[in-house]
Amino acid sequence: MLPFARINRNIRSLKRYRQILGTLIKYGFGHIIEQLNIDYYLELGKRIVSLGTASRDLERLSQAERLRLALEELGPTFIKLGQLLSTRPDIVPPEYITELKKLQDRVPAVATEQIKAQLHRELGYPAEELFQAFNPVPLATASIAQVHRGVLKTGEEVVFKIRRPEIERIIETDIDILIGLAYLVEKHLPGGDMYDPIGLVKEFRRTINRELDFAREGRTIERFANNFAQDDLVRIPKVYWEHSGHSVLTLEYVSGIKISHFDELENAGYDLKQIARNGAETFLQQVFEHGLFHADPHPGNIYVLPGNVICMFDFGMVGRLDDELKLQLTELLLSVFNRDVNHIISQLLYSGELHDESNLAGLKRDLSEFIDDYYELLLQDLQVGKLLFDFVEILTEYRIKFPSNLMLLSRALIAMEGIGRQLDPEFNMIEQIKPFAEKIVKDRYSPANLSKEMTRTLQSYHSLGKSLPKDIKEFINRVNRNKFKIDLEHRGFERLITDLDKSTNRISFSLVISALIIGSSLIMQTDKGPMLFDFPILGLLGYTVAGFLGFGLAIAILRSGRM
């Protein structure tokens, strides 16, 4: 049985299938649903949706706009998926990324009684026994959680981030469906396997499950706090673990001014240029020193405190860079700054992303033009985040994959640069990056680091030398016992069988209709049996049935779009 058919087929799931597919068709994506053979795989014996066309109002919108509207209508899981895809220019065209960035969580607040019930379930006591005060009016609402202010029994002012009831079950059902759809996309859409849709949905499932676990977010916040423990220019809110759990996160309430409220900052006497430098310094420390960075640094998540101190909130989405990825990013940026295309190519070859079928000459030409275009800009006008996005677009054309964490970093860099330039029109991210990048390269080639790498390499070869004789012996034994097998997979073969089945059914149907017409014509010549208007009733009945069957067959062929 196919993985798609193994999904739990209870009434709730089937209703959700109908809703998802119906919404996609409503917004003009029925042709894709038809290509996926949904009905065949669900084995329901009838269509679960009726294919139609988008309304005239929707037809005026671009396909990217219609996709955004469809995802917003489908709810939290699909909104989060769209937001993830907006960070993947390696698989999503630029016009779609522009639209997906506009996705908003437009959801009404959950009733106070339900929120207090959620607190009771998670913490084990009624809210009244845990807190002096609990503000029923939320500070913010989103598809996964909403935030309330309150006061603990000990007098500390706090904020509660509380997961919406039942959201976990909703997301679980949707992801099951997305896994099935991804399987069909990979199997039936031309070029679908190139983007690894199943892997993408699994990555999304891992990301959103981490976001649903507020205890994990609390531990992440403490990691950030430890990383900046000695830095007086950064403030990370305290986690109150005795009032937190997997669905509730209680944090210290920090009063400040949003970094995007420029007039308010100026009126309060803050130095906007210094804030821009402090914000960039804080973010680049996360990237190049800690390898753990805030992946959603929009203005609503950054406050400014007295002394130009930066305070960050909402650590549900973070990115990670290991030492190898940090070096790869650093050498890429330095190569672009130094106009060294050959070094970029060698980095891609080293990382294993380039293969024998890659058009190296074309890639080298496009990278040279890309660098020349950026060198025509003044240094202060160059945007590092946009540079990374444009670089990824070139790699995508040559089917070269880029690590997803670097996609998150590109998006975060664009946000931080935008804030920095609004605070200070002369802000230059490159000047901020260069010291970090040069330090990483210097440390990479230090004697101590080279010695560690040499030791790791020797250990790897030692392990390989120990296991190689055993592996060779096992291989020879399998060959001698006729146990050596090679599995071949016929990709797309099921689609061919399905199409042949449809074609055979139509031919059979046509033969039945032809037989009815011929038989009825013969009866009409006999002048025997019951008569109606001087014609044999059996002959008229045969013509009528043939007409209905023929009309139905014609409609089915026209709706399939394959004449």
**All residues at 6 or more sequence positions from 200 whose CB lies less than 8 Å from its CB, including other chains:** 88, 91, 182
Q: Which of 485, 508, 543 is the last residue before a domain boundary?
A: 485
User: Does 43 have pLDDT greater than 50?
Assistant: no
13 found inside a domain: no
**All residues at 6 or more sequence positions from 554 whose CB lies less than 8 Å from its CB, including other chains:** none
554 found inside a domain: yes
CA distance 198 to 31: 21
**Higher pLDDT pick, 484 / 263:** 263
Q: For residue 377, give both structure tokens.
A: 């800009």
pLDDT of residue 160: 93
Phi and psi angles of residue 149, each rounded to the nearest 5 degrees, phi first: -90, 160
Per-residue pLDDT of 461-515, as tens digits, reads 878 788 888 878 877 877 777 766 666 656 555 666 666 767 777 777 777 778 8
**All residues at 6 or more sequence positions from 487 whose CB lies less than 8 Å from its CB, including other chains:** none
Contact 69, 27 (CB under 8 A): yes
CA gyration radius for the chain? Answer: 31
Per-residue pLDDT of 194-207, as tens digits, reads 667 888 888 888 88
Lowest mean per-residue pLDDT among 36-45, 287-296, 401-410: 36-45
**All residues at 6 or more sequence positions from 228 whose CB lies less than 8 Å from its CB, including other chains:** 234, 236, 282, 285
Phi and psi angles of residue 310, each rounded to the nearest 5 degrees, phi first: -95, 130
332 found inside a domain: yes
pLDDT band at residue 3, thresholds of 50, 70 and 90?
very low
Count structural domains, the chain.
4
423 found inside a domain: yes
% pLDDT > 70, the chain = 82
541 found inside a domain: yes
Mark whether 376 and 463 lie in a shared domain: no
227 found inside a domain: yes
Mark whether 337 and 222 lie in a shared domain: no
535 found inside a domain: yes
Mark whether 262 and 248 lie in a shared domain: no
Per-residue pLDDT of 78-119, as tens digits, reads 888 888 787 776 677 878 888 888 876 667 888 889 999 999
Mark whether 343 and 205 lie in a shared domain: no
Q: Which of 207, 239, 254 is the last residue before a domain boundary?
A: 254
Mark whether 384 and 511 lie in a shared domain: no
Per-residue pLDDT of 418-461, as tens digits, reads 888 889 988 888 888 888 888 887 877 778 777 877 887 888 78
Contact 35, 11 (CB under 8 A): no
pLDDT of residue 38: 66
Contact 284, 208 (CB under 8 A): no
Q: For residue 232, give both structure tokens.
A: 């007086």
Contact 354, 348 (CB under 8 A): yes
Q: Which residues are catalytic?
A: 296
First-to-final CA distance of the chain: 32
For 530, the domain range is 493-560
DSSP state of 243: G
Mark whether 500 and 512 lie in a shared domain: yes
Mark whether 459 and 503 lie in a shared domain: no
pLDDT of residue 530: 73
Alpha carbon of 444 to those of 18, 348, 433, 441, 458: distances in Å?
54, 18, 17, 5, 18
Q: What is the mean pLDDT of the chain?
A: 79
Mark whether 418 and 528 lie in a shared domain: no
Per-residue pLDDT of 274-332, as tens digits, reads 999 999 999 999 998 999 999 888 888 899 999 999 999 889 888 888 887 887 778 77
pLDDT band at residue 30, thresholds of 50, 70 and 90?
confident
Burial 24-60 (b: 16+ CB within 10 A, else e): bbbbbbbeebbbbbbbbbbeeeeeebeeeebeeeeee
Mark whether 267 and 233 lie in a shared domain: no
42 found inside a domain: no
Mark whether 337 and 373 lie in a shared domain: yes
Q: For residue 453, give both structure tokens.
A: 């790498």
Q: Which of 383, 414, 445 is the last residue before a domain boundary?
A: 445
Mean per-residue pLDDT for 346-363? 65
pLDDT of residue 354: 58
Quickly list DSSP for 361-412: HHHHHHHHHHHHHHHTS-GGG--HHHHHHHHHHHHHHTT----HHHHHHHHH
User: Does 398 have pLDDT greater than 60?
Assistant: yes
**Nearest partner of 174 among 77, 72, 80, judged by Cα:** 77
**Nearest partner of 10 among 173, 205, 167, judged by Cα:** 173
Alpha carbon of 420 to those of 148, 355, 412, 430: distances in Å?
30, 39, 12, 12
pLDDT of residue 454: 84
**All residues at 6 or more sequence positions from 16 whose CB lies less than 8 Å from its CB, including other chains:** 173, 174, 177
Alpha carbon of 182 to those of 12, 26, 175, 178, 345: distances in Å?
20, 20, 10, 6, 32
Mean per-residue pLDDT for 332-342? 75
Per-residue pLDDT of 212-245, as tens digits, reads 999 999 999 999 999 999 999 999 999 999 999 9
Q: How are beta strands 292-294 and 318-320 bridged, if at all?
A: antiparallel
CA distance 470 to 476: 10
Q: How are beta strands 309-312 and 234-235 bridged, if at all?
A: parallel
**Higher pLDDT pick, 531 / 185:** 185
User: Does 553 have pLDDT greater than 90?
Assistant: no
CA distance 80 to 145: 13
Mark whether 468 and 544 lie in a shared domain: no
**All residues at 6 or more sequence positions from 478 whose CB lies less than 8 Å from its CB, including other chains:** 484
CA distance 72 to 83: 11
Mark whether 531 and 513 lie in a shared domain: yes
Burial 94-109 (b: 16+ CB within 10 A, else e): eebbebbeebebeeee
Mean per-residue pLDDT for 118-146? 88
